[in-house]
C-alpha cells in the first residue's frame, strides 16, 4: 500500500520515465521536482550528467528530454505573484500552466496574448520554445509579450532579464530551449476580452493559391489557421479548410472552463492508423463542413484547443509514438516549397492525420533562437514506421533547407546536426549563454561538435 501524506522530500528522487508528447525517443532520467524558486541550483549540487528544466512534456521530440540526466520538473512551482487589472500584467512562477492562467484570467476579463494548440504547457516552456499561435501574423510570438523574467544559473546567480536589463540573456532565453538557466518567474502581458466566444468562419479551399488568397484577405482578422489534407492528390491536392476568428466583442459569459473528462484509455495498436484510416479521416474532416463557407460563434476552448478535450490523445499513435515535422519557408520560396513538400508527403503514402498550414507575419521575435519568421509554416505528424518515416524526414528536412527554411526544435526528433546548424547559424553565439549545468538530448544531438 502506498504511503499517504509522504513528504515532498521523501518522494523527490525517483527514477521514472518522462515522455515527450511524441513518445519518441524515450530515455530514462531522474526526475527532480522544483517546488520553490530557491530550489535551483541547490537541488543539483553534487549531481552529475547535467540537468534540464522541463514543464508538461508537450514538446514532441527530445528538447524536453535528457538521457540518463536530471529533469527538473517545474510544474509544482506554479504560484501567481501579482496581477494588475489596469495593465493586464500577470507575474507568475514559471511552472504555472496556460490552462491555470486561463482559469485565473478569463473570469477577470483577460486572455492569453498568444495561444498555442494546447493549453497544457507551462509559462516557462512557452518562453523556452518561444511558441506561436494562430495570431502570429498580428501578435508575433509568445516571447513578444514577456516583459521580464528571472533567470537563475547553476553558479547561484539570479538575473532580472528584460529588453533593457541583461538584454542578451533575455534574447538567449526566449526560444533558448531551457538551456540558459532556470526561469523562476516571468511577467506576461494579458489582453482584455469581454466574452469567451470567438466569431468563427471556416472556408474550404482547393490548392495553395486559394490558401494564399484567403491569407491576404484575412490580414485584419486576429486568428487564422488552416487544416490541409495531405493524403489527396489530383483534383483534391492541397484541399483544406481555412479557419479564422476574432474574439467576440459582444459582452457575454466569462466563467472558467469545466475540467476535461475524457482520457484516451489505452495505447492503440500500431496498425490502427494507416493510410486508409487517415485518408478516411481527412475526407470526413473536409466534408464535415458541407458548405464552402461556414460562419459560427464558438467557445474559445474548441477554437484554440480542440485536442485538449481528450487527455493523452497521443496514445492513439500506439507505443511507437509519433514524429512531428514543422517548417517555416520564407515568402521567397514559400509557395513552391510548400507544394513540393506536400507532393513528397502524398507520394510517400505515409499518413499524416493533422496537417496545419499558416502564414507567419513579420512581427520580429525577441528570441535569438526563435523558430518563426515571415513565410509559410506547415506542421505534419506521422506515426513512426522506422524504415519509412526517417528517410522521408531527411528528404523533407533537406528540401526545407534548399528552400531557405528551417525546422522547429520543439517538434523535432530527427534533424541532423548539420541541418540544425544551417537552420540556426547563430547557434554558436547562443551557446555562449548556455548554463554549463544544463543540456538536453536535443542539444547533444544537434551540436555534437560543441
Partner 1 sequence: MSTTPQSTPSAPRKILVLGATSGIAEATCRIWASQGASLFLVARNAEKLAAVAADLKTRGASYVDTAVADLDDTDQHPSLLAHAINSLTGMDIAYLAHGVLGDQAEAEREFNTAAQILHTNFMAPVSLLTWLANFCVQRHAGTLAVISSVAGDRGRKSNYVYGSSKAGLSAFLGGLRNRVDREGVTVLAIKPGPTKTAMTANMPKSETFADVDSVAEAIVSAIDKRKDVLYVPFKWQPIMFVIRNIPERVFKKLNL
Applying CB under 8 A, the residues found at the interface with partner 1 are 1-8, 10-12, 14, 16-19, 31-38, 56-57, 73-76, 79-83, 93, 95, 104, 107-108, 254, 263, 312
Instruction: Rank residues 101 and 342 by Cβ distance to partner 1 and give the closer one.
Output: 101
Least Å from the CB of residue 336 to partner 1:
41
Judged by beta carbon, residue 23 or residue 247, the one nearer partner 1 is: 23
If the CB atoms of residues 83 and 390 are measured against partner 1, the closer one turns out to be 83
Q: How far is the CB of 149 from partner 1 (least distance, A)?
A: 16
- The nearer residue to partner 1, 20 or 352, going by C-beta atoms, is 20
Residue 91 or 326 with smaller CB distance to partner 1: 91
Nearest approach, Cβ of residue 11 and partner 1 (Å) = 6
Name the minimum Å distance from CB 94 to partner 1: 13
CB of residue 246 to partner 1, shortest distance in Å: 24
Complex with partner 1: residue 30 or 239, whichever CB lies closer: 30
Residue 194 vs 276, nearer CB to partner 1: 194
For the CB of residue 302, give the shortest distance to partner 1 in the complex, in Å: 23
Whole-number minimum distance, CB 313 to partner 1, in Å? Answer: 14
Of 409, 412, 325, 417, residue with least CA distance to 367: 409
- Report, in Å, the least distance between residue 383 CB and partner 1: 21
The answer to whether 203 and 292 are in contact (CB under 8 A) is yes
Q: Which is nearer to partner 1, 190 or 356 (CB)?
A: 190
Min dist. Cβ of residue 170 to partner 1 (A): 23
**Sheet strand arrangement including 158-161:** 80-84, 89-93, 182-189, 146-152, 158-161
Q: Which of 400, 402, 420, 418 is closest to 410 using CA atoms?
A: 420
* Residue 374 vs residues 60, 167, 244, 334: alpha-carbon distances, Å: 23, 23, 19, 10
Neighbouring C-alpha atoms within 13 Å toward the C-beta of 186: 29
User: Nearer to partner 1 by C-beta: 5 or 216?
Assistant: 5
- Whole-angstrom distance, CA of residue 362 vs CA of residue 373: 7
CB of 224 to partner 1, least distance (A): 31
User: In the bound complex, what is the minimum distance in angstroms from residue 34's beta carbon to partner 1?
Assistant: 8
Closest to partner 1 by CB, 72 vs 350, is 72
Cβ closer to partner 1: 3 or 220?
Answer: 3
Amino acid at each position: 500500500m502506498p504511503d499517504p501524506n509522504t513528504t515532498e522530500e521523501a518522494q523527490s528522487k525517483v527514477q521514472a520515465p518522462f515522455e515527450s508528447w511524441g513518445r519518441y525517443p524515450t530515455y530514462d532520467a531522474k526526475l527532480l521536482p522544483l517546488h520553490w524558486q530557491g530550489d535551483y541550483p541547490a537541488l543539483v549540487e553534487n549531481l552529475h550528467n547535467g540537468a534540464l528544466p522541463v514543464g508538461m512534456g508537450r514538446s514532441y521530440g527530445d528538447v524536453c528530454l535528457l538521457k540518463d540526466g536530471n529533469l527538473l520538473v517545474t510544474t509544482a512551482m506554479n504560484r501567481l505573484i501579482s496581477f494588475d487589472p489596469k495593465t493586464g500584467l500577470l507575474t507568475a512562477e514559471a511552472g504555472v500552466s496556460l490552462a491555470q492562467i486561463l482559469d485565473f484570467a478569463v473570469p477577470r476579463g483577460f486572455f492569453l496574448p498568444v495561444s498555442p494548440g494546447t493549453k497544457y504547457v507551462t509559462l516557462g516552456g512557452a518562453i523556452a520554445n518561444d511558441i506561436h499561435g494562430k495570431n502570429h501574423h498580428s501578435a508575433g510570438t509568445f516571447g513578444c509579450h514577456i516583459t521580464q523574467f528571472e533567470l537563475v544559473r547553476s553558479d547561484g546567480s539570479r538575473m532580472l532579464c528584460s529588453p533593457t536589463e541583461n538584454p542578451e540573456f533575455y534574447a538567449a532565453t526566449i526560444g533558448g530551449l531551457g538551456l540558459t538557466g532556470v526561469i523562476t518567474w516571468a511577467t506576461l502581458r494579458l489582453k482584455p476580452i469581454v466574452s469567451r466566444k470567438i466569431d468563427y468562419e471556416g472556408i474550404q479551399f482547393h490548392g495553395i493559391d486559394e490558401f494564399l488568397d484567403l491569407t491576404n484577405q484575412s490580414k485584419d482578422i486576429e486568428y487564422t489557421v488552416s487544416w490541409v489534407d495531405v493524403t489527396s492528390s489530383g483534383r483534391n491536392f492541397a484541399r483544406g479548410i481555412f479557419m479564422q476568428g476574432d474574439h467576440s466583442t459582444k459582452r457575454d459569459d466569462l466563467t472558467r472552463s469545466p475540467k476535461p473528462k475524457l482520457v484516451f484509455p489505452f495505447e492503440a495498436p500500431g496498425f490502427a492508423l494507416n493510410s486508409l484510416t487517415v485518408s478516411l479521416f481527412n475526407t470526413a474532416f473536409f466534408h464535415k463542413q458541407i458548405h464552402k463557407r461556414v460562419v459560427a460563434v464558438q467557445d474559445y476552448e474548441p477554437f484554440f484547443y480542440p485536442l485538449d478535450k481528450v487527455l493523452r490523445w497521443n496514445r492513439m499513435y500506439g507505443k511507437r509514438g509519433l514524429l512531428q515535422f514543422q517548417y517555416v519557408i520564407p515568402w521567397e520560396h514559400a509557395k513552391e516549397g510548400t507544394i513540393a513538400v506536400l507532393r513528397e508527403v502524398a507520394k510517400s503514402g505515409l499518413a499524416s492525420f493533422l496537417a496545419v498550414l499558416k502564414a507567419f507575419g513579420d512581427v520580429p521575435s525577441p528570441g535569438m533562437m526563435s523558430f518563426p519568421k515571415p513565410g509559410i509554416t506547415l506542421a505534419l505528424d506521422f506515426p513512426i514506421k522506422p524504415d519509412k518515416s526517417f528517410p522521408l524526414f531527411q528528404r523533407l528536412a533537406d528540401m526545407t533547407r534548399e528552400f531557405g527554411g528551417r525546422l522547429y526544435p520543439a517538434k523535432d526528433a530527427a534533424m541532423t546536426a548539420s541541418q540544425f546548424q544551417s537552420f540556426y547559424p547563430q547557434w554558436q553565439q547562443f551557446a555562449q549563454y548556455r548554463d554549463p549545468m544544463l543540456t538536453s538530448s536535443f542539444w547533444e544531438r544537434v551540436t555534437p561538435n560543441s
